[in-house]
Amino acid sequence: MHTPPLPLRVLLATMLGLLAPAAAPAQISPEARAVADAVSKKLSAAPTVAVTARHRISPGLHIGAAGGSTPIELTVQRPNRFHAIQNAGPETRELAYDGRSLCLLYPKLGHHAIEPLRADSIEEFADRALERFGFRPPVAELLANDVAAQLFRDADSARVFAGESVGWTRCDRLHIEQQGLTGDLWVGAKDRLPRRFRLTFTDQPGNPTWDIRLSNWKLGAPVDEALFSKRPPAGSQRAPLFKSR
Amino acid sequence: MKTRPRQLHAFLLVPLAAVLLAPLVPTASALPRQRPANPRGVADPRGIADPRGIADPRGIADPRGIADPRGIADPRGIADPRGIADPRGVFDPRGPFDPRNPARYMYALPATYTMRAFGGINYYYCSGTYYYVYYINGQPVYTRATIVNGVPTVPPRPM
């Protein structure tokens, strides 16, 4: 088979590259950018953040690590410490991350997993947990140090619908679209705190949703630092932690 | 002579009243499913001929259908893995974790589990089967352990 000489191949590759359609820039409206930046500024300025998340998952949508529908208490200490606990009776589970190791605990079932995992920020922790162990910590996007960057990552478009409510709180709804997924984030019009986050899986039959209500925000409040390095009680069995093949 | 027209008038009042009151009489549209007390509502796909009745606890999404031989009092629920051909009956105390057909892995333990240690490793014992726990994608996966010389051993990861 005849192969063109190297300069010709380089020229051909360059021309083909010029002819190929460039990736379309994300259509993010200035209002959407402003809302996301306001949330980001508000949350990143707090050295500690605590919030309660209640979520509801459409039947048929399997999100393994989501667990049951009981509330999850989340606590973050900047830049890279994360704790979550879901009190669900015998199925009570806990996630503790101190920047160096990740510990998942089911204290009432007597087992846990612990693995070394280094990260310098909440977003890096979430990305590495997904890459190595196949899950993201709950609502890590909203607790990240740069919320706007997390929200608009892989986004095709974003816009804002003003004048909606979550409970008694007036909100702006930030609507973000990307391939196979849309996200709607309701942000308090006055305090700029997220109140509701709904993910719609548009590439799945029936467009199932994962709907998360956020309440009881505490910014900058003192937190128990021992939470982030929590370890299992004596007698708990260590289990291997994997990502599915 | 004066009473005759009055009697005729009174006689005609009966059909006239019947015609006027006819719209107020309940019509044939009041079929069983439209009754206000029927909690299933008109959108219930089971139809009015469904013999399970409105008190059927299985709900309209129950895939077992009205021909399910287990009957409406079956407490095992639609997630029961034993299938409708299971001949053991609804009051079988052995439950869905029957050792004759144990699940290869599961995401939660039944309430009746016990923990037993062999060689320093904890196993979860349910209805004659031992399970070993892995965490996969952040979720515990209880995986059936194989028994070697009467002792459970760590199974390969299921996924």
What are the pLDDT digits (tens) for A19-74?
444 556 779 999 999 999 999 999 999 999 999 999 888 877 766 555 677 899 99
* Degrees, nearest 5: CA angle B109-A62-A69: 65
**Mean of pLDDT values over A10-27:** 53
Higher-pLDDT residue of A95, B68: A95
Nearest to A49 by CA among A216, A230, A244: A216
**How does residue A195 score in pLDDT terms, banded at 50, 70 and 90?**
very high
CA neighbor of B52 nearest in space, from B32, B31, B35, B73: B73
| A169 close to A188: Cβ distance less than 8 angstroms | yes
Instruction: Using CA coordinates, name the residue in chain B closest to A90.
Output: B111
Average pLDDT over residues A225-237: 93
**Minimal C-alpha gap between A126 and chain B (Å):** 12
- Decide: helix, strand or coil at residue B158: coil
Counting Cβ atoms within 10 Å, is residue A241 exposed (0-12), middle (13-18) or buried (19+)?
Answer: buried
SS3 B155: coil
ipTM of this predicted structure: 0.81
pTM here is 0.69
- What's the confidence (pLDDT) of residue B79? 56
Q: Which of B107, B135, B137, B143 to mutate to test the interface with A (most CBs of A within 10 A)?
A: B135
Q: pLDDT band for position B43 (50/70/90)?
A: low
Residues A225 and A82 sit within 8 Å (Cβ to Cβ)? no
What percentage of residues in chain A have a pLDDT greater than 70?
87
Interface of A with B in 216-245 (CB under 8 A): 237, 239-245
To test the contact with chain B by mutation, choose from A131, A237, A245 the residue with the greatest count of B C-beta atoms within 10 A, namely A237
- Report d(CA A63, CA A67) in Å as an integer: 8
Residues of B with Cβ-Cβ distance to A113 under 8 angstroms: 135
- Residues of B near A (Cβ–Cβ under 8 Å) read 107-109, 111, 115, 121-122, 133-140, 157, 159
**Chain A residues within an 8 Å CB radius of B157:** 240, 242
Report whether pLDDT(B5) > 60.
no
State the pairing for strand pair A157-166/A27-28: parallel
Domain ranges of chain A: 26-238
Tens of pLDDT, residues B68-122 = 555 555 555 555 555 555 555 555 555 555 556 677 888 888 888 999 999 999 9
| Listed range (A100-109, A189-198, A208-217, B12-21) with the worst mean pLDDT | B12-21
Query: What is the average pLDDT score of chain A?
Result: 88
Q: What architecture (CATH level 2) is domain A26-238?
A: Clam (2.50)
